Chain A
Amino acid sequence: EPEVTQTPSHQVTQMGQEVILRCVPISNHLYFYWYRQILGQKVEFLVSFYNNEISEKSEIFDDQFSVERPDGSNFTLKIRSTKLEDSAMYFCALSPSTYTEAFFGQGTRLTVV
């Protein structure tokens, strides 16, 4: 069983709409991350989250993006008003500690039309 499950696997949305991507950890993790990968490009860091707050974010992670763990379990990424250039694979990653490996989900393919 994978350490982390992402839902949905694929989402198509209209430009300007809000989307919420979800990440469900199987076991206890302390460190949470979101990454994205535009087709044909490298995996890009978006944000890291620890102890219920953002510990670091990249330039990509602007005011249109937000993250939270509303129920202490699911970890979500919200994009408030999607743009065409937000189309990408979004990966959630989890880590029990900074000294161990990170577990990546299988990703959500977001298509903005």
Chain B
Amino acid sequence: DAKTTQPNSMESNEEEPVHLPCNHSTISGTDYIHWYRQLPSQGPEYVIHGLTSNVNNRMASLAIAEDRKSSTLILHRATLRDAAVYYCILRDVVRGGNKLVFGAGTILRVKS
């Protein structure tokens, strides 16, 4: 399973942008880059995903490096409700049962 590396924790101020980095140097051509988050006592929640181009949705933006060996999740204005564990996951669309393999993720703390 392709692996990702994320910082253990990050802190942000409310209403400010947050950039959550992820390294995935062993990414393969059939891996999509997914981001999920898990709020306390809840199930994982989809945030965004992409293959090569940068992606935007109502929750966040995903910036993907040209060589695809790293990506950054961008929350444009952090709120207290964004405090969660954020997971960067590579999902192989061909092999491995297409499962999502969760690491430890990045604990995001948001200060008011």
A residues adjacent to B (C-beta < 8 A): 31, 33, 35, 42-45, 48, 50, 55-56, 89, 91, 93, 95, 98-107
Contact = CB atoms under 8 A, between A and B. Distances in A.
B43 A48 contact: no
Contacts, number: 57
What 7 A-B pairs are tightest by C-beta distance, nearest first?
A: A56-B97, A48-B97, A104-B43, A43-B102, A101-B46, A98-B93, A98-B98
Contact of B49 (A48, A101, A103): A101
Given A42-B103, A43-B38, A95 B98 contact: yes
5 contacts: A31-B98, A50-B97, A95-B98, A99-B93, A101-B46
**Among A42, A44, A95: residue with most chain B CB under 10 A:** A42
B43 A98 contact: no
Interface of B: 32, 34, 36, 38, 42-46, 49, 87, 91, 93-94, 96-105
Contact of A99 (B32, B36, B101, B102): B32
Of the listed residues A43, A48, A95, the one surrounded by the most CB atoms of chain B closer than 10 A to its CB is A43
A89 B45 CA distance: 15
